[in-house]
Amino acid sequence: MELTEESTSRFVELPTQGKLHYNEAGSGHPVILIHGSGAGANGWSNFRSNIGPLAESFHVFAIDCIGWGRSDAATADKYDHVAMVVEFMDALGLENAALVGNSMGGMIAIAVAARHGDRVSHLITMGPGAFISTPTMFGAGDGPTEGIKILLEGYANPTAATMKKLVEIMAFDEEFATDELAELRATGAAARPDHLANGLKSFVEGGPVRNQATWEEAKGITAPALLIHGRDDRVVHFEHTLRLVSTIPNSRAVLLNRCGHWAQIEHADEFNRLVRDFVLSA
pLDDT (tens digit per residue) in 56-101: 999 999 999 999 999 999 988 888 999 999 999 999 999 999 999 9
What's the pLDDT tens digit per position in 191-222?
999 999 998 888 777 778 778 899 999 999 99
- Distance CA(187)–CA(258), nearest Å, equals 28
Catalytic residue among 21, 229, 237, 261: 261
pLDDT-derived band at 148 (thresholds 50, 70, 90) equals confident
Residue 10 has pLDDT above 90, yes or no: yes
State pLDDT tens for residues 237-256.
Answer: 999 999 999 999 999 999 99
pLDDT at 135 over 50: no
Q: For the full predicted model, state whether its pTM sits above 0.75.
A: yes
Percent pLDDT > 70 in the chain is 95
Return the CATH superfamily for domain 9-145+209-281.
Answer: Alpha/Beta hydrolase fold, catalytic domain (3.40.50.1820)
Q: Is the pLDDT of residue 136 over 50?
A: no
* pLDDT of amino acid 142: 52
Assess whether 122 carries a catalytic annotation.
no
Domain segments of the chain as ranges:
9-145+209-281
CA distances, 98 to each of 3, 50, 110, 121, 216 (Å): 21, 14, 11, 5, 22
